Amino acid sequence: MAFRATSFLLLALAHSARSFRTETIPLNWTTLAACAIDNPARILAGDVTTQVANNTVASCVTTCAAQGFGYAGVEFADECHCATGVIGPLETAPDTDCNMGCAGDSTIACGGAWRIQACHSWAFEGCFVDAPAFTNVETHTFDTNLDFVNQCLQACARDGFTFAGVEDASVCQCSGSAPVTAATQVDESECSSLCPLPGNAGFEFCGGVERLGVYSFSG
């Protein structure tokens, strides 16, 4: 019995210490969390989970993007999670916790037991003078500016826009095109208005006075 227990422990340690190769994320998506703690309620908003026999990070991102989602995650080797955003600040885990090889390619990590690797398709493009910066704008305001950037990105994604902007921690703008050619890009320090993050996660920058923090959707 002692021999069996020792052998199992050695196998577990070898599995946890396993190294994986890095897979290129397609479609200009970027890593949101290299390894985060998931739970039965799910940490991704609007999570649609599918078990995929040939699951990889790239295939999951491609699938989620094709379905109009802006967030994707892989978990437990064969799970692909497509989502509209994050419910709150992600609780990160050591990269070694994401120790399961992908069902479609065991040389690539695809999360672990309640451990998810998450990607998203929104990228920060800079701080612009809003004079205005966008044309054909749809404006959103929310009941609270808690996690305001995420609220804005989700609203713009739901309505099919590819650009989003946050201004003075209170206004969300959605547009189908990039800032106009005449828009002046300024130092990011001018987008210094603060919005609170959930829990004890602190604050994030949410544009500034007549300054638009601009994000692009590349899914």
- In this structure, the answer to whether residues 176 and 83 fall within a common structural domain is no
Q: What is the pLDDT of residue 11?
A: 37
- In this structure, the answer to whether residues 54 and 139 fall within a common structural domain is no
Would 181 be classed as within a structural domain?
A: yes
> How remote is the C-alpha of 178 from its chain's centroid?
21
Q: What is the pLDDT of residues 84-139, one digit of tens each?
A: 888 877 888 999 999 999 999 999 999 999 999 999 888 899 999 999 999 999 99
Residue 157 and residue 193 in contact, taking contact as beta carbons nearer than 8 Å: no
- In this structure, the answer to whether residues 109 and 132 fall within a common structural domain is no
pTM for the full model? Answer: 0.66
- In this structure, the answer to whether residues 113 and 130 fall within a common structural domain is no
Mean pLDDT confidence for 52-81: 96
Q: What is the pLDDT of residue 102?
A: 98
Show the domain range for 181: 122-217
CA–CA distance, 178 with 205 (Å, rounded to integer): 20
Choosing from 76, 100, 120, the residue where a domain stops is 120
Q: What is the pLDDT of residue 158?
A: 78
Adjacent-strand bridge partners of 77 = none
Q: What is the pLDDT of residue 164?
A: 96
Would 3 be classed as within a structural domain?
A: no
Would 127 be classed as within a structural domain?
A: yes
In 3D, which of 211, 154, 157 has the Cα closest to residue 188? 211
Q: Give the number of domains in the chain.
A: 2
- In this structure, the answer to whether residues 127 and 114 fall within a common structural domain is no
Adjacent-strand bridge partners of 185 = 128
CA–CA distance, 171 with 127 (Å, rounded to integer): 14
- In this structure, the answer to whether residues 27 and 84 fall within a common structural domain is yes
- In this structure, the answer to whether residues 169 and 130 fall within a common structural domain is yes
Adjacent-strand bridge partners of 173 = 139, 165
pLDDT of 154 > 90? The answer is no
Most confident of 14-18, 153-157, 194-198: 194-198
Q: What is the pLDDT of residues 37-66, one digit of tens each?
A: 999 999 998 899 999 999 999 999 999 999
Between the two ends of the chain, the Cα-to-Cα distance in Å is 53
